[in-house]
Amino acid sequence: MLSTFEHIALTVGELTFDVTVGGPADGDAVLLLHGYPESAASWLSVAEILNDAGLRTYAPNQRGYSRGARPTGVESYTIDHLVADVVGILDTLGLGTVHLVGHDWGAVVAWFVAARHPGRVRSLTAVSIPHPAAFNWALREDADQQARSSYIQFLRTEGKAEHVLLRDDAQRLRAVFGDVVPPARVDEHVSLLTEPGALTGALNWYRAMTKEFENTPAVTVPTTYVWSTEDMALGRAGAERCGEFVDAPYEFVVLDGATHWIPEQRPDALADAIRTRTGTTPN
């Protein structure tokens, strides 16, 4: 059965987020946080499976990605603001607790939300990015991770990164997806990021990074971490250290042969991991 999705505008303070909602109204809530350079559309295939299993999904285009949530200035994209957005979304939706899922940058935000607001998170499924303390350890100590993360400095270069990524019909931006993400979905992501101010907002997540990431507390909620062996950006060292920063039931799921784009390349396997963590079986 295919899900019927509803697209809503959700106002949180001075910002308005575009949110894709699916699944039964009485289903347990799952909040899906996308990464860079994707959008909430990256979750559609996973959400369909979760909805068919009876779960209610909410996938927002996050700060910088939603047209009504693009404040100017790097200081508007610190992790404090990104975490507050998630808590504000939950409050506005009337959700006391949620099963939290994040991929890439969405995983970073999810780790921080779980660490700072464990009472709001029933379970955590983090995809690709390990606990920030594990990732930062690998960035300091592991030559392989240092090489994989060399692109970050380019993305932090204001102006130049936007110019390079958007020229020639955003050829460089499209290229990061390889041949893994369907072209129509790539077009959807790129179309959003070519809107005025959108790519700068997305890149400001990188530009607002601080050493605070190294000191992220351990999470105390049941957690699953999903990592793929062909991820060009995330190596094994940080992935294997992730569990040291979870003081709760923990599972490490390895997807052999999958690339970084897990939600779109391996939606069935990812949905299985999420369902297992939420204790949900297919209908």
pLDDT at 212: 74
Average pLDDT over residues 115-140: 97
109-120 tens-digit pLDDT: 999 999 999 999
CA-nearest of 47, 143, 51 to 103 is 47
77 is catalytic: no
Per DSSP, the three-state class of 63 is coil
Could you report the per-residue pLDDT of 44-80, keeping only the tens digit for each? 999 999 999 999 999 999 999 999 999 999 999 999 9
Out of 58, 65, 77, 206, pick the active-site residue. Answer: 206
Q: 32 - beta bridge partners?
A: 101
Average pLDDT, integer, range 147-173: 96
Q: Specify if 283 maps to a domain.
A: no
Q: For this structure, is 151 an active site residue?
A: no
Overall average pLDDT of the 27-51 stretch = 98
Q: What is the mean pLDDT of the chain?
A: 96
* Active site (annotated) includes residue 206: yes
In Å, what is the CA distance from 258 to each residue of 75, 140, 150, 174? 35, 25, 21, 19
Residue range 229-239: average pLDDT?
A: 97
User: Does some domain include residue 227?
Assistant: yes
With a CB cutoff of 8 Å and minimum separation 6, the contacts of 157 are: none
Looking up tokens 């607790």 gives: 97
Q: How far is CA 176 from the centre of its chain?
A: 16
Q: How confident is the model at residue 282 (pLDDT cuts 50, 70, 90)?
A: low
Catalytic residue selected from 104, 189, 225, 231: 104
In-domain check, residue 49: yes
Instruction: Please give the residue that has the higher pLDDT: either 53 or 2.
Output: 53
**Is 1 contained in some domain?**
no
The overall longest dimension of the chain from CA atoms, in Å, is 49
Answer yes or no: is pLDDT of 1 > 70. no
- CATH code, 153: 3.40.50.1820
Give the structural domain span for 62: 6-278
pLDDT at 29: 98
Give me the sign of the Cα torsion angle 148, 153, 157, 160.
negative
The letter for the amino acid at 109 is V
Percent of the chain with pLDDT over 70: 98
* Strand ranges inside the chain, DSSP E: 6-12, 15-22, 29-33, 56-60, 98-103, 121-127, 223-228, 250-255
Sorted by sequence, the CB contacts under 8 Å of residue 159 that are 6+ apart come out as: none
Q: Say how many domains are in the chain.
A: 1
Q: Does 211 have pLDDT greater than 90?
A: no
